[in-house]
Amino acid sequence: MSVRLITLTIVGFLLGALAAGGVGVRVIREVRALDDATSLPAQNIARDDGYHTDPTETLISSVALVPEAATFGDDGFSISYEMTSIAPTLGTESSQDDQPLYPKRWLVEALGGEFEGIQENATEPMAVFPLMVGGSIDQVDAVRVVEAFVPGSFETPVSISGAAPEVQVGSGIDVVLIGESDNGDATTIDVQIVADDGMVREVQIVGDGPGWSESSVSGDTVTLTRSNDVEAAEFDLIVFGTTWVVIEGEFIVNIGSIDE
Amino acid sequence: MNDTVEERADGEIPWKPPVISAIAGALVVGSLVIFALVNGPVDDPEADALILAPVPSLDVPNGYTLMTNDGDVGLKVESMTSDGGSSTVVVSSAVRGTTEPADSPPPDVAYWEMQSDGESTVMDIQFTSESAVGTTTIVFPVSDAASEPIVAAYPTASVVSESTTMEVGPDALGEPIAFGLGFEPDIAISGELVVGDGWGTVEWTSPDGMVATLDVVVTLVGTGNPDGVSHPIRLVPGYDSSLAGPDSVIVSRPLYGFGGSYGLYGDGRVIADGGPLTSIVIELEGTVVTETADALVLTFDPAGD
């Protein structure tokens, strides 16, 4: 076999390999592109559009807020909305009636100015902008929630007595001893809960330390009974419950769901 | 074709061997291409590390960080306040896009740590309530936390539960009763309870510094109605659903802690209402976290971005 023949054979082998390699690379790229298009990476198996209840939702804390309607009138502008909590609740007894968020202060940019709005109480999902008169949804440039609250739990030990019947618990909550009766074996007390600024969601009281039986509640008053085996002038209690806790930040509200 | 040798001899190219060789080369490379397609890309540990590294995920909304023991739940610090000798942090939880909130349990965190001004401080207590949907409150013994502290959650990875029953005589009424709950090999919950006439108190701690929960139920044996209509007096924690009369005050079940104290409540009856106390039966059930998952580091962004 001549040198020339060997050289030509090697060149032929390389040319064949290169040609097949070129076609092969192209085929591999096509197949991988098809794979990428039909299977997402593992971390994106959830909705890749990110919303939980509606494409026009606004997420504030763990709550999806979706505006429902806007009203324009001589007495101002108002926005009503729906909220859906996306907090995990398996095994809890949380109520759907519990408001998961209190978006208290709002701001609207419209008609060349800014208008402040407020939601008067946590349970009525509507923000009112009294100074914004007239207009239409087309003239609203932006809506923001500028002060929002989430529910936060608290537990506070207090001591109360006939000599000091009123105690400030904090967060705008006072407890007041309004009744005390001794039936021989035990003493029953009535404690009134005073929390009137709308920022308290729930307050309850139980006895702290020895001698206490189950407590019961009626309206804003909790009745507690302590065995007279315990000799103490003061009644040690634990006040617990939930208040609205301010969260930081401003939140641009998507108003795409509003039909005028 | 008998004249091939003569043709080569006079300078013409010998096509046959190079063509066969080219076909052979194409077959070899083609086989490699098919092998590559069937077996997929070669595993590259470095590339795997990049994929596994925490990266922002579009389906985790609003700045939440996914739990390391439950990839469907994320956590976010919402508020931090310092008051007196403590700092209180409120953390909210949210599920991922396709997860139904009612099908996902709340975050299971053994304990929390705050890193502020270079110091790490372990929580005093964590708690939540049914009316605080999706939030956990954590209290740290930090009097003046930095404005932007780092909070680390240590999710539970494994737990062990143990239960035992003790019985003591009626003369133990009103006296401190020591108890212990062992977990192999040496993890324990120990404490003291006082059982009174229709009431009780419990205090416990973990000498090994483990986080745990402890449930206690006490039965005052013999105190039922002599005619057998009523059961003996039972004393249960304030979070026990058996207390749930129409007006009963129910507290929230404690989350994991390094210790705890709480009251045991009855239904208002006292021993004199029924038969004489013959013994006190104490049922203890404890759960100890034996292993935590990787810490989840949460930063507090006061700007809310």
> How high is the pLDDT of residue A29?
56
Q: What gap in Å lies between CA A27 and CA A30, rounded to an integer? A: 5
Query: Higher pLDDT residue, A215 or A16?
Result: A215
The answer for A198, left when phi > 0, alpha when psi is -120 to 50, beta otherwise, is left
Say whether both B144 and B171 belong to one domain: no
- Cβ of A150 within 8 Å of Cβ of B78? The answer is yes
A246: contact with B, CB 8 A cutoff: yes
What gap in Å lies between CA B129 and CA B235, rounded to an integer? 22
- Tell me whether A11 touches chain B (CB under 8 Å): yes
Judged by phi (left if over 0) then psi (alpha if -120 to 50, else beta), residue A91 lies in: left
Which ipTM did the prediction report?
0.77
- Do B35 and B141 reside in the same domain of the chain? no
Q: CB under 8 Å to B215, separation ≥6 — which residues?
A: B237, B284, B285, B286
Q: At residue B33, what are phi and psi to the nearest 5 degrees?
A: -60, -45
Q: What is chain B's alpha carbon radius of gyration, rounded to the nearest angstrom?
A: 34
Report the CATH number at residue B145: 2.60.40
Q: Report phi then psi at B62, rounded to 5.
A: 60, 30
**Among all chains, which residue has been given the structure tokens 């991988």?**
A32
Q: Is residue B261 part of a domain?
A: yes
Within 10 angstroms of residue A22's Cβ, the number of other Cβ atoms is: 11
Average pLDDT in chain B: 83
Give me Rg for the CA atoms of chain A. 33
Containing structural domain, residue B180: 159-290
At residue A213, does pLDDT exceed 70?
A: yes
| Residue B150 dihedral angles phi and psi, to the nearest 5° | -105, 130
| pLDDT over 90 (residue A82) | yes
Residue B279 lies in a domain: yes
Q: How far is CA B35 from the centre of its chain?
A: 45
> Distance of CA A194 to CAs A167, A225, B266, Å?
10, 20, 27
- Which tokens sit at B56? 């922002």
Considering the domain architecture, whether residues B223 and B274 belong to the same structural domain is answered as: yes
Q: How many residues does chain A have?
A: 260
Token code pair at residue A145: 């929630």
Which of the two residues, B273 and B39, has the higher pLDDT score? B273
B94 in the same domain as B23: no
pLDDT digits (tens, 9 = 90+) for A114-132: 999 999 988 899 999 999 8
Number of structural domains in chain B: 3
Q: What is the mean pLDDT of chain A?
A: 84
Among A10-19, A217-226, A228-237, B288-297, where is mean pLDDT lowest?
A10-19
Separation between Cα atoms, residue B241 and residue B258, nearest integer Å: 24
Q: What is the pLDDT of residues A160-174, one digit of tens each?
A: 999 999 999 988 899
B93 CB neighbours in chain A (<8 A) are 62, 87-88
Instruction: List CB contacts of A257: < 8 A, sequence separation 6 or more.
Output: A54, A56, A66, A67, A68
Q: Which of the residue ranges A75-79, B45-49, B143-147, B202-206 has the most confident prediction, judged by mean pLDDT?
A: B202-206
Q: Best interface-test mutation with A: which of B131, B194, B261, B301 has the largest number of A CBs within 10 A? A: B131
Which of B29, B36, B174 shows the shortest C-beta gap to A20?
B29
Q: Could you tell me which residue, B196 or A259, shows the higher pLDDT?
A: B196
Question: Using one digit for the tens of pLDDT, what is the confidence trace for A139-196?
Answer: 899 999 999 999 999 999 999 999 999 999 988 899 999 999 998 889 999 999 998 7
Q: Is the pLDDT of residue A44 over 60?
A: no
Surface of A (87-106) touching B: CB under 8 A? 87-95, 98, 100
Give the whole-angstrom CA distance, residue B196 versus residue B199: 5
Q: Residues of A numbered 104-133 whose beta carbons fall under 8 angstroms of chain B's beta carbons: which are they? A: none
Burial of B45 per CB tally in 10 Å (0-12, 13-18, 19+): exposed
Residue B304 lies in a domain: no
Gap between the Cα atoms of A101 and B61, Å rounded:
16
Same-domain status, B245 and B268: yes
Is B13's pLDDT higher than 70?
A: no
My answer on whether B190 and B279 are in the same domain is yes
* Region of poorest pLDDT, from A5-9, A41-45, A238-242, B120-124: A41-45
A contact test, residue of B92, B241, B242 with most A CBs within 10 A: B92
Confirm if B283 and B163 have CB atoms less than 8 A apart: yes
Range A22-36 average pLDDT:
54
Overall average pLDDT of the B281-301 stretch = 93
Per-residue pLDDT, B14: 66
Q: Give the pLDDT confidence score for residue B50 in this predicted structure.
A: 29
- The pLDDT of residue A79 is 94
Region B249-266: mean pLDDT is: 91
Domain ranges of chain A: 1-39, 58-148+247-252, 153-245
Enumerate the residues of chain A whose CB falls inside 8 A of the CB of residue B72.
88
Per-residue pLDDT averaged across B294-305, rounded? 78
Tokens of B302: 């006061």
pLDDT reported for residue A119: 95
* Residue B40 banded pLDDT, cuts 50, 70, 90: very low
Among all residues of chain B, which has the CA nearest to that of A188? B268
User: Do B181 and B132 share a domain, yes or no?
Assistant: no
Q: How confident is the model at residue B161 (pLDDT cuts 50, 70, 90)?
A: very high
Determine, yes or no, domain membership for B305: no
Q: Within an 8 Å CB–CB cutoff, is residue A21 touching chain B?
A: yes
Chain B closest-CA separation from residue A43 CA (Å): 7
Residue B285 sits in a domain of what CATH number? 2.60.210
Q: Are B145 and B232 found together in one domain?
A: no
Asked whether the beta carbons of residue B58 and residue A89 sit closer than 8 angstroms, the reply is no
Closest to A88 in 3D by CA, of B104, B244, B262: B104
What is the count of residue pairs from A and B with beta carbons less than 8 Å apart?
Answer: 282
pLDDT for B57 beyond 50: no
Give the phi and the psi of residue B101 in degrees, each rounded to 5.
-55, -40
> Closest chain B residue to A185 measured between Cα atoms?
B270
Q: Which of A5, A62, A206 sits opposite B92 (nearest CB)?
A: A62
Angle in degrees, 0-180, between the axes of helices A3-38 and B16-39, rounded to the nearest 10 = 20
A208 interface with B at CB cutoff 8 Å: yes
Lookup: tokens for B88: 């209180």
